């Protein structure tokens, strides 16, 4: 397929806000895509060059792209900069400058060109990137230039994600979404939607999802915990359970292979590979009694002076790539392993929790870096209550309760794992925190005007759209206000992003931002709201922390909000309010 033909589809996708119509258009595109090219097509329409865990980036900032446009189209750089301030879209400028050029490159040729540019490293790589990018743009027609320029600066954003691609693949074969669940299960184990599209094109849906198994080096989407109102209900729904401590740490999936060609990789919940954050991982080989494993762990910071666990924010100081060894000296990391998904070529995901636990204890030798989480097996809700009190008294967040006979199922489904946090003690308070996406911000007045941010609007997921839940303007330090403004400035959008549902007029932020930044929010109460499009609102909401380890698709859902509201109302009744 010519890239110019793909660009016509991109234009149609950009011009529609209907998720159903987007799905139909994508299915039409996939039908006409060659099986040798569909994988690259899927990556490109998502504005990427591969699955997120491969972390292929261009490192081309807007300032550098202005220079590229000036070079490619023989324009004055200052004039391009001036036009960009007015236009606000580098893609539109590239389209304007391309004039009547004809694009003859295929999808594969453009993809390979882009990959070559992303692979540029080392001395004078920036100059080579500018030269190659300018050359590519000079070979494209106007519409193709628009989308390629946006891909370079990470602003293609057509309003859909991997989940919509999965729906479109089902639509391509069946004319509806009836096969999406099968595809989604395969995607959760091997989260490469481009590779999945290629498999569907070659083998059909049934063939592509058959015998899916974890692969060392490819992160499995994590199994997540539900919420239940009481230990008694947990036992009623789950039967015999394992009770484990809930740490205030960073969920890390460790992939380990020993021997020649061996490696250690560490993936966060949003599938970013972060082994560089943890020099301690170099020591774990002596603690693992297996050739290759995939472990589910919690990375928790330890204050070496006090010999005590530290909070999430302290652990996350590791995300600074420079001077990591010095930071590691101040806050070391322990990895608490609580599950094993794969061992020596065999998937363990369909084994029961107790079987996986037995294997986990057999393959890990507890030591300074890696340790198996302690647990207690019981079918008595009083034991759950006692364990909860004990963990809280030791300064932990609470407990995780796991059904003893459950398989490892990615996502938050069924009553397999349940979390119970400190908020449960305060019967009239909201029982848990929420992971929300920042939708936009308000500039603020008085002192906050100097930060450029006085508050922000957050939303939750509801059927593929983000719907508003609450405005937040408290609970932030001056430093947090400045950091949040800096982060949000990089995500600003001149118009409301297509991924957002209706936002009431009096809630519209001064500046919209693209859905990307996830924040953890605490609140005292949850209420029904006629104003917020989620149908709910929070009273006394406050920022707990930024969740760089989570992606927008892992935000709290409307369904979870409904469940939290039910728990809150139940707690009110128990407290007699």
Nearest to 517 by CA among 554, 558, 474: 554
Are 169 and 42 a contacting pair, CB within 8 Å? no
Q: How far is residue 282's CA from residue 264's CA, in Å, rounded to a whole number? A: 8
Query: Residue 522 forms beta bridges with which residues?
Result: 542
Q: How far is residue 36's CA from residue 23's CA, in Å, rounded to a whole number? A: 21
Contacts of residue 149, defined as CB under 8 A and 6 or more positions apart, other chains included, come to: 65, 69, 90, 91, 93, 94, 95, 137
Are 173 and 32 a contacting pair, CB within 8 Å? no
Q: How far is residue 229's CA from residue 235's CA, in Å, rounded to a whole number? A: 11
Contacts of residue 479, defined as CB under 8 A and 6 or more positions apart, other chains included, come to: none
- Residue 399 Cα to chain centre, angstroms: 24
CB atoms within 10 A of CB 261: 6
Query: Residue 372 forms beta bridges with which residues?
Result: 337
**What 3 state SS string does 382-406 have?**
HHHHHHHHHHHHCCCCEEEEEECCC
Are 237 and 415 a contacting pair, CB within 8 Å? yes
Tokens (6 digits) for 400: 């995780």
Nearest to 469 by CA among 544, 412, 522, 546: 522
Nearest to 3 by CA among 96, 130, 133, 141: 141
Q: How far is residue 102's CA from residue 109's CA, in Å, rounded to a whole number? A: 15
Q: What is the DSSP letter of 61?
A: -
The one catalytic residue in 139, 246, 402, 550 is 246
Question: Residue length, the chain?
Answer: 577
* Strands, E assignment, 455-505: 455-462, 465-472, 492-493
Q: How far is residue 116's CA from residue 204's CA, in Å, rounded to a whole number? A: 31
* Residue 542, H or E segment: strand 542-546
Nearest to 534 by CA among 455, 421, 442, 437: 437
Tokens (6 digits) for 236: 């009623």
Computed on alpha carbons and rounded to an integer, the radius of gyration of the chain in Å comes to 25
* Strands, E assignment, 247-303: 250-257, 263-267, 292-303
Let me know if 246 is a catalytic residue.
yes
**Nearest 5°: CA angle at 518, between 308 and 502?**
150
Residues taking part in catalysis: 246
């Amino acid at each position: 397929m010519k890239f110019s033909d793909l660009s016509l589809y991109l234009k149609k996708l950009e011009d529609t806000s209907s998720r159903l119509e987007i799905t139909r258009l994508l299915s039409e595109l996939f039908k006409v895509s060659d099986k040798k090219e569909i994988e690259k097509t899927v990556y490109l329409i998502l504005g990427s060059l591969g699955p997120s865990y491969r972390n292929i980036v261009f490192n081309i900032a807007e300032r550098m792209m202005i220079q590229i446009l000036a070079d490619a189209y023989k324009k004055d750089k200052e004039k391009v900069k001036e036009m960009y301030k007015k236009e606000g879209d580098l893609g539109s400028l590239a389209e304007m400058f391309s004039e009547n050029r004809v694009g003859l490159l295929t999808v594969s040729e453009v993809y390979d060109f882009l990959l070559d540019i992303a692979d540029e490293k080392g001395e004078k790589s920036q100059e080579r990137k500018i030269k190659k990018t300018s050359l590519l743009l000079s070979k494209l027609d106007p519409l193709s230039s628009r989308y390629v320029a946006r891909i370079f600066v990470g602003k293609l954003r057509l309003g859909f994600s991997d989940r919509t691609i999965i729906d479109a693949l089902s639509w391509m074969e069946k004319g509806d979404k009836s096969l999406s669940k099968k595809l989604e299960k395969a995607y959760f184990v091997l989260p490469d939607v481009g590779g999945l599209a290629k498999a569907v094109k070659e083998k059909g849906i049934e063939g592509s999802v058959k015998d899916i198994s974890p692969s060392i080096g490819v992160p499995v989407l994590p199994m997540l915990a539900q919420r239940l109102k009481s230990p008694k209900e947990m036992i009623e729904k789950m039967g015999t359970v394992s009770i484990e401590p809930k740490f205030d740490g960073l969920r890390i999936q460790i992939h380990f292979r020993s021997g020649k060609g061996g490696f250690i990789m560490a993936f966060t919940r949003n599938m970013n590979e972060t082994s560089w954050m943890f020099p301690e991982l170099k020591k774990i080989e002596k603690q693992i009694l297996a050739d290759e494993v995939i472990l589910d762990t919690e990375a928790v910071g330890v204050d070496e002076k006090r010999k005590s666990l530290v909070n999430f924010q302290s652990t996350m100081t590791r995300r600074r790539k420079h001077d990591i060894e010095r930071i590691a000296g101040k806050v070391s990391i322990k990895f608490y392993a609580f599950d094993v998904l794969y061992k020596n070529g065999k998937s363990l995901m369909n084994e029961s929790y107790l079987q996986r636990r037995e294997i986990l204890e057999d393959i890990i030798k507890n030591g300074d870096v890696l340790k198996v989480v302690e647990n207690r097996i019981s079918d008595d809700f009083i034991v759950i209550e006692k364990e909860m009190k004990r963990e809280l008294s030791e300064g932990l967040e609470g407990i995780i309760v796991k059904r003893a006979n459950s398989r490892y199922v990615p996502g938050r489904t069924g009553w397999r794992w349940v979390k119970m946090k400190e908020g449960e003690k305060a019967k009239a308070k909201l029982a848990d925190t929420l992971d929300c996406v920042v939708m936009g911000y308000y500039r603020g007045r008085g002192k906050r005007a100097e930060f450029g941010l006085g508050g922000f609007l957050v939303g939750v997921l509801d059927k593929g759209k983000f719907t508003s839940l609450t405005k937040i303007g408290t609970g932030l330090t001056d430093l947090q206000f400045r950091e949040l403004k800096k982060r949000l400035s990089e995500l600003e959008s001149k118009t409301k992003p297509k991924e957002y549902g209706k936002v009431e007029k009096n809630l519209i932020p001064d500046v919209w931002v693209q859905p990307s930044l996830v924040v953890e929010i605490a609140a005292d109460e949850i209420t029904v709201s006629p104003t917020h499009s989620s149908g709910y609102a929070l009273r006394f909401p406050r920022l707990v922390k930024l969740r760089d380890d989570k992606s927008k698709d892992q935000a709290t859902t409307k369904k979870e909000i409904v469940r939290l509201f039910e728990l809150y109302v139940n707690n009110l009744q128990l407290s007699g309010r």
